[in-house]
Amino acid sequence: MSFKRALIATCLSLLPVAATAEQVGSVDVDWLGNDILIEAFADPEVAGVTCHVAYFDRGVIDRLQKGNWFEDPSNASVSCRQTGPITIGDIERDDEGERVFSERRSIVLKSLRVTRIFDEANQTLIYIAHANELQNGSAKMSISTVPLFDPTAAGQN
């Protein structure tokens, strides 16, 4: 396990996390040890939906060159799909949604989050990957939607 992964695991063990992810892929992008990691997680409140998040993981050589040991870029991408019968649990239904996944991108101040918003009028679940920072928030984001074709999936009979 890399230094960064061990540090993240330690920090995450101290914080409540909405969903846990499993690494399902890793793509080498250069000779410096930088990778794109792909993780999968099931929505903890919506059975039948699985999301995949891809993000940049800086290698040790890149960290030495840039002098910033404890931070990764905010860039991330998310894609969510129906992977079984959808059953919606007790989810937030307001326009701010709720966090379903979080992973630290620096030792203290920055995290990658996936937030779910339920667009009830259009019967669609919206998932947005974004950075959360103490200040100077990032405009980098990615969005994915899961349509609910079966009206009973949204609790409407």
The three-state (H, E, C) secondary structure of 65-117, written as one string: HHCCCCECCCCEEEEEEEEEEEEECCCCCCCCCEEEEEEECECCCEEEEEEEE
Q: What percent of the chain has pLDDT over 70?
A: 78
pLDDT mean over 103-118 = 83
Helix (H, G, I), strand (E, B) or coil at 133: strand
pLDDT higher than 80, residue 97: yes
Q: Say whether pLDDT at 91 is over 80.
A: yes
pTM, full prediction: 0.75
User: pLDDT-derived band of residue 98, with 50, 70 and 90 as boundaries?
Assistant: very high
Does residue 157 register a pLDDT over 50?
A: no
Q: What is the mean pLDDT of the chain?
A: 81
Is residue 119 classed as helix, strand or coil in its secondary structure? strand
Q: Is the pLDDT of residue 37 over 70?
A: yes
What integer pLDDT is reported at residue 152 of this predicted model?
A: 54
Terminus-to-terminus CA distance in the chain, angstroms?
49
Element (H, E) at 3: helix 3-14
Q: Give CA–CA dist 25/38, Å, rounded.
A: 5
Asked if pLDDT for residue 155 goes beyond 70, the answer is no
Predicted pLDDT at 125: 97
CA-CA distances (angstroms) from residue 40 to 22, 77, 98, 99, 111? 5, 12, 18, 15, 17
Confidence of residue 50 (pLDDT cuts 50, 70, 90): very high
What is the token pair recorded at 103? 């992973």
